[in-house]
Amino acid sequence: MLPETLLCLLNAGIALAQAKQQLPLNSNSQFSPSNPPNPPVFSLPTAANLTITVALCSSTNSPPKFFVTNSSSAGVPGPGGGDDVFEIAVEEGHGSWTGIFDDGGVLAVQDIGQTSFELGISDQGPIHELLSNSDLPLLGDTTSNQALIFSPAFAEEVEPRPTYPNYTLPSANSSQRSAPSGSPNFTLILSPTSSSSPLTALPQTGCMLSSQRSTGTLSSQNFWLRDTKGWRNQWLIEALTPATNYTAYVVQDRTKVSGPIHFVTKSASFACPLVFNLPYCPNVAYTVPLPQPPTTAGSNAYTALNLPDEITKPLLAYLTNFTTTLTTFACGRDWYSPIVGCDDCQREYRKWLCTITFTRCGEPSPANPRSFTSSPAPPDATGLSALHPKDPSAPPQRVFSALLPQSTDIAKARSRTLPAMGSAYAMLLPCLEVCTAVDRACPSLVGFTCPTVQFNAAASYGVGYSDSAEGEQGEGATGAAQDRWGNIWCNGG
Ligand SMILES: *[C@@H]1O[C@H](CO)[C@@H](O)[C@H](O)[C@H]1NC(C)=O
Ligand SMILES: *[C@@H]1O[C@H](CO)[C@@H](O)[C@H](O)[C@H]1NC(C)=O
Ligand SMILES: *[C@@H]1O[C@H](CO)[C@@H](O)[C@H](O)[C@H]1NC(C)=O
Ligand SMILES: *[C@@H]1O[C@H](CO)[C@@H](O)[C@H](O)[C@H]1NC(C)=O
Ligand SMILES: *[C@@H]1O[C@H](CO)[C@@H](O)[C@H](O)[C@H]1NC(C)=O
Ligand SMILES: *[C@@H]1O[C@H](CO)[C@@H](O)[C@H](O)[C@H]1NC(C)=O
Ligand SMILES: *[C@@H]1O[C@H](CO)[C@@H](O)[C@H](O)[C@H]1NC(C)=O
């Protein structure tokens, strides 16, 4: 015979069990003051591995609390705890709990107040997520009032390797394939960075961020296969303010948050236009010392549609010749390496050739105006070093960008195929790693070599950023060509 109080509790539990709303599997449920959960108790489906995620969609000083149980006998879970009763910790607006729900379970929400929130129930990984730092948005480049930004890569494109006897490499004038179907919906949210930035103070959730007004005007948006990491969404944003630090987030399907990153627009006098959307040079997405593009193109940038033939023709000719030479080697038969093939060699050569052909412009960061070397490197230099130990005015471990001031004299410009821009600019040297990648991927018979200590050309690469000056991979001063704070050290291609 059960005590009477326990019987009452059990009855209350049964009554609630009948009123409970079922949260469907693999879906996201939205609640707001006009659509509150009533009662705020949900039954959960049976699953071997269920992930419950919470996202707050409004700011509040007293956030609701979320309790879950995977026990069929625990009743309504709450702060009193009990066997198999857990509280879902909510941080920066996100909460997540994963566990075994062999008998289903119950989710209860307390102290809802006027808060809007979402509940994601899934057996295929979390629905709401703050993506990790390896999945940040990627800055292409900025002008004084434009920014080219990429989402994190979302779908890898696995190309079948060509095989002997039909060893066919992509043509020099290759085109982009069509984006995978079912691609996610991406939203870019931009705001000027400030100590009271409206974005960083909010819950860092998809529903909250995507409800915010984004700065600037969207000029174009498309999917782009930039490199082997996979497809990305690409945005060109215009009408930004010169020399301004911006904060950017990318939200995927209103639920997964990537960011924040920072970037800085160039000063008002910066004259180099953006070049991007070149199928044969998919990595090029930065400013290049060219005359202003013809205004007929709609937006103020160069793409494959309005880039002069004088640039494209020699580039494709070089690439065609290289590919012809490459395929005279035993591609696909006698492997010169177990891990790389002629296809890798061609891809890395293409990236190098594009990076060299399209000289990149740059500018010292306004926050760090002296962080580049103002005196041209001597003709026998092997490249600009990330750390300038010989500069007497610089503290020894300050990192410098690989920027080289250029006069209007075209003969001194690195790339001979670019028409003169007609004004001075600063060139951001390619990272040496763009070259060493070709060296590593290509058969030694091709004869491609990168500058070493005895290199005799003028300063031509940024050295010591990703890899150390001695060539140890990942041991450089910054570990990358650019960072999430808006610093760009060298042209990573
Ligand atoms: C509830 O979750 C706990 C912890 O994950 C697990 O040990 C237990 O087996 C689960 N109970 C049921 C009935 O699934
Ligand atoms: C359960 O799902 C989570 C999220 O997808 C995953 O990280 C974890 O490895 C899974 N656990 C099991 C036992 O499958
Ligand atoms: C060789 O491969 C290319 C690309 O993979 C294909 O288009 C072509 O039809 C193939 N040729 C033969 C003879 O199999
Ligand atoms: C490259 O291909 C595109 C379309 O595939 C074509 O319009 C363009 O003329 C080609 N460029 C050259 C230099 O052959
Ligand atoms: C993307 O958004 C559009 C319109 O808002 C919608 O119709 C579509 O279903 C969404 N796609 C995905 C994968 O969420
Ligand atoms: C490509 O090869 C052909 C034939 O060998 C040669 O005439 C031409 O100059 C080469 N073009 C380039 C850009 O190297
Ligand atoms: C942009 O602002 C952020 C936040 O104040 C700062 O950490 C970052 O260094 C700034 N970026 C540049 C390039 O000045």
Pocket test for ligand 3, best of 159, 161, 166, 177 (most atoms within 8 A of CB): 166
Which ligand is nearest to the Cα of residue 83, counting in written order?
Answer: 1
Residue 252 CA, ligand 5 centroid: distance in Å: 11
Q: Any bridge partners for residue 142, and if so which? A: 147
Atom 7 of ligand 1, nearest CA residue: 100
Domains, the chain: 15-128 (2.60.120.380), 133-459 (no CATH)
In this predicted model, what pLDDT tens digit does every residue of 449-484 receive, in sequence order? 888 644 544 468 888 888 887 788 888 888 899 999
3-state secondary structure 53-86: EEEECCCCCCCCEEEEECCCCCCCCCCCCCCCEE
Residues 6 or more apart in contact with residue 446 via CB below 8 angstroms: 325, 326, 329, 345
Residue 286 CA, ligand 4 centroid: distance in Å: 22
Residue 319 contacts residue 172 (beta carbons within 8 Å): yes
In angstroms, the CA 313 to CA 302 distance is 16
The radius of gyration computed from the CA coordinates of the chain, to the nearest angstrom, equals 28
Which ligand is nearest to the Cα of residue 154, counting in written order?
Answer: 5
Q: Which of 443, 434, 436 is nearest to 340 (CA)?
A: 443
Atom 3 of ligand 6, nearest CA residue: 321
- Give the distance, in angstroms, between the CA of residue 414 and the centroid of all CA atoms in the same chain: 28
In this predicted model, what pLDDT tens digit does every residue of 352-398 receive, in sequence order? 999 999 999 999 876 666 666 555 555 555 567 776 555 545 554 56
Report whether residue 318 contacts ligand 6, using a CB cutoff of 6 Å.
Answer: yes
Q: Residue ranges of the chain with pLDDT lower than 50?
A: 1-3, 5-17, 392, 396, 453-454, 456-458
In angstroms, the CA 260 to CA 136 distance is 7
In angstroms, the CA 113 to CA 97 distance is 23
In angstroms, the CA 248 to CA 200 distance is 10
**Predicted local distance difference test score (pLDDT) of residue 9:** 45
Residue 162 CA, ligand 3 centroid: distance in Å: 9
Global pTM reads 0.89
In this predicted model, what pLDDT tens digit does every residue of 269-280 receive, in sequence order? 999 999 999 999
Residue 437 CA, ligand 4 centroid: distance in Å: 27
> Which one-letter amino acid corresponds to residue 339?
I
